[in-house]
Structure 1
C-alpha cells in the first residue's frame, strides 16, 4: 500500500477506544437479560441462547464484509452504519414478542452492528495509522478499552434493569449506542478521500488465497475458535449458573464487572508483551492458563469469594488473545487487507461463540446442568494452547504479484 498521511496516534487511540468501550461494553452485559426476558416471555433458555448464538455467528460472518468495506472505503462509513444497526437491534430486542423476531433483531441485526463497530474495523485503522513498532501495544490499548467498557457498562446495565425494567433499559442503550457515529468522525483516514482506497499490491482474491493457504493462518483461526467458545459461554451463562447454585444476581454482575476490570490489565499486558516476545508463546500460555483456571473453579467449593477470584484471574486472560492474534496477522501479511483478514479470523472466533452459547442452552435444558460445557471448555483450552505453538510469525515471503507487475 502506498504511503499516505497518518492521523494522530492519540486521536486514533482515543476515538477507537471510546467506540470499543461502548460497543463491547453493551454486548458484554447481555447475559443479565437472560432470566428477565425468558421469564417475561415464557421462553426457554435455549430460545435466548439461540438468538445470542445467531448474534455471534452474524457478527463473525458480517465482519468479513465489514472488514472488506473498511479496507476499501475507510472505517468511518462502516462505523456510522454499524451504530444505526446497533440502535435498531437493541430496540428490537426490547419490543419483539416471538422467538423468531427476537432471533432476527437480537441475533442478526445486533450481530451485523457489532461487526461494524468492534475490533476488526478499529484494528484496521490502527494497523494503517500506527507505526509497526507500536502496533501490538496500540491494539492492546484498544482491547483494554473494550474490557474497561465491560467493567463500566455491566453494572450500569444491571442498575438500568433494576431501575427502569428490562425493556426500558434496552431502549436507553439503543439511544446511547448512537454516540458511536460522532466518535467515528475522528477515524476518517486521509488515504480514503472520496471513498477511494490507496493502491494495493494484492487484490482481495490474491490476499485470501495467500492467507488460507498458509498453515499459521489456519492455526490462528482454530485457536480463535476456542477463544470464542470459552468467553461467550462464560459471559452469557455464568450469571444463570451462579443463580442456579444459590448465589445472588449481584454476585453475577460483580463477577462480569471484575472480568472486565482485570481484562484491562490482561489485554494491555498482552499487547505490550507482543512487542518484545513471540506472540505464539503468549497465546499458548493464555489458552493453557484458561484450562487450569476453569478446572480449579469447578473443583473448588462455590462461594462469592471463589467466584470473584475466578473472575479476576479469568479477566486477565479474557480478551488478551485479541492483540497478539491480530498483531500476528498484521506481522505475517501486512496491513493492506488487515480488516478483511482479521474479519475471517474473527469469523472463526464467532463460530466458536455460536457453539459455546448454544450448547450451553441446549445441554442445560437436556441435563439440568452446565457441567458438560465447562469440561468441553477445559479440553478446548489445552487444544488451543498446543496448536498455537507451531505458528510462524515472520513476514510471508512474496514474489512479484500480478497486480504489482502490471503496475
Structure 2
C-alpha cells in the first residue's frame, strides 16, 4: 500500500502528533525566561517538566483504556482541551507552584491523550495488519518532524510576544488538534481481523488477562524500558558529556539537531522494515545497531565530528522502536485494545526514561564520570537485542483459529 492511499484518519493523526509533540519539544527553551520571571532557580521548572513526563506515563494506560472504550476522537478532544488549559494557566501564573498543576499535571494529561498511544491505536483500526508498521512508522516520522520544526516557531513567538504570549499562541494552536479530531472516523474495515467476531466480543478484562499471561508481552515491556532509558539519558546528559570533553556548546546543539533530523527518516525506515520482515528480528537489529553506535562513540576520541556522526546514527534508530513495538503488540493481540496494551508498555518506557535521566546524574556524581553509565547503556542495548529474539510473535490462538 502506497502511503498516499492511507485513510484520511492517518493524515489527521499525523497532524495531531505534529502539534502535540512539537509543542512538547519546545519546552526547554522556556526554562530560562520562566525561571527569571519568577526569580527562582531552574530546579522548579525542571521538576515541573519531570512531573509532566512521569504523569505522561502514569496517565497513559488509563487514557488508552478510555480510548478503546469510547473512541480516540473523544479522548483526543479532551486531551487537547487539557493541553491548551495547562499552557494558558502557565502563561498567567503568578506563583511558581502553579506550574506543577498547569505544566505538570494538565499538560501531562494532555500529552497522554493526544500522542502516539492514542493516535496509533486509532490508526490500527483502519489500516490492514500487513501495512500497520509502515503506517505507524510514517506517523512516528511525522511526529518527529513536529519536534524538529516547532522550536524555531516557539523562538520567534517568544521574541515577538514574550514567553507568556508564546504559550498562549501554543494554547490556541491546540484547537487545531480538536478540529482534526472532529473529522476522525474509525471506518469499518473489511480486514479479517476487524471482522473477527472473537476480537469484537472480547472484553477489556479478557484482553489484559491474555496479554499478562503472554511471555512475549513482558519481553516487549523490558525492551521498551531500555528504549526509554537510552532516549532520556542521551537527551538529558549528552550536552554535559560533550562539555566535559571540552567541546563548545554548539557541538551539542548540532548533535541533537542531527538526532531530530535522522529520526524522521529512521522512524519510517524501521516501520517499512517491520512490514517486510519479522518485527522481532528487525527490533533486534535496531538494538544491535544502538549497541554498535553507542559503543563506538564512547570508545573513539570525542570530537565535534564524532559527536555529529553519533547524533545522526543514534537518531536513525531513536524512535524506530515505536512503530515496531506498537506493531508487535497489534500483531500478537489484535487492534481492538491496542491503546490499552501499548499504553501499559509505554508506561514502562517512561519508567525507563525517568531512571535514565536520574541515574545519569546519580552515577556521574558518584564516580565523577559518565563512563560507567555509557557502558551500561551499551550492555542494555545488547540485552534488548537478545530479549526480542525469543518473543513468540504469532497471533494469539483466539485470532489464529479464525485465520
Same fold (TM over 0.5): yes
Instruction: Number of aligned residue pairs: give it.
Output: 388
Q: Deviations over 1:40-82 (max 9, x none)?
A: 6565665444433322221122111221121111111111111
TM-score, normalisation: structure 1: 0.84
CA separation in 1, counterparts of 2:253 and 2:29?
8
Q: Could you tell me whether the CA contact under 8 Å between 2:9 and 2:123 is conserved in 1?
A: yes
| 1:220 partnered with 2:217 | no
Counterpart of 2:153 (choices 139, 153, 156) is: 156
Aligned position for 1:281: 281
Alignment gaps of 5+ in structure 1: 1-7, 192-197, 402-407
Equivalent in the alignment of 2:328: 328
| Partner-residue secondary structure (3-state), 1:188 | coil
User: How far has the Cα of 1:38 moved from its partner?
Assistant: 5.1
Structure 1 residues 118, 228: closer, same or farther in 2, change over 3 A? Answer: same
| TM-score (normalised: structure 2) | 0.85
CA–CA distance in structure 2, aligned partners of residues 65 and 179 of structure 1: 24
| Distance in 2, Cα, partners of 1:226 & 1:43 | 34
- Which residue in the other structure is 1:181 paired with? 178
- Closer/same/farther in 2, CA of residues 166 and 246 from structure 1, 3 Å limit: farther
- Counterparts of 1:81-92 in structure 2, within 5 Å, are 81-92=78-89
Q: Secondary structure at the match of 2:398?
A: coil
Q: Is the 8 A contact 1:49 1:358 kept in 2?
A: no
Distance 1:16 1:218, change over 3 A: same
What's the CA shift for 1:108? 2.1
Report the counterpart of residue 404 of structure 1 in structure 2: none
Aligned residue in 2 for 1:265: 265
Report what 2:192 is aligned to: none
How far apart are 1:94 and its partner, in Å? 4.8
Against the structure 1 CA distance between its residues 133 and 190, is the aligned structure 2 distance closer, same or farther, given a 3 Å change threshold?
closer
Equivalent position SS for 1:274: helix
Tell me the distance in 2 between the aligned counterparts of 1:220 and 1:394.
14
Kindly indicate whether the alpha-carbon contact (under 8 Å) linking 1:94 and 1:168 is maintained by their aligned counterparts in 2.
Answer: yes
Q: Which runs of 5+ in 2 are unaligned?
A: 189-196
CA contact (8 A) 1:263 1:315 kept: yes
- Determine which structure has greater relative contact order: mean sequence separation of CA pairs < 8 Å that are 6+ residues apart, divided by chain length: 1
Asked if 1:305 corresponds to 2:276, the answer is: no
Q: Is the Cα contact below 8 Å between 2:9 and 2:185 reproduced in 1?
A: no
Equivalence for 2:127: 130
Aligned to 1:235: 235
Whether the 8 Å CA contact 1:45–1:365 is kept in 2: the answer is no
* 1:30 and 1:236 in contact (8 A); partners too: no
Superposed, 1:285-296 pairs within 5 Å as 285-296=285-296
Compute the RMSD of aligned alpha carbons: 3.0
CA-to-aligned-CA distance 1:169-197 (integer Å, 9 cap, x gap): 33332332332111112213256xxxxxx
Determine the C-alpha separation between the residues in 1 that align with 2:7 and 2:87. 31
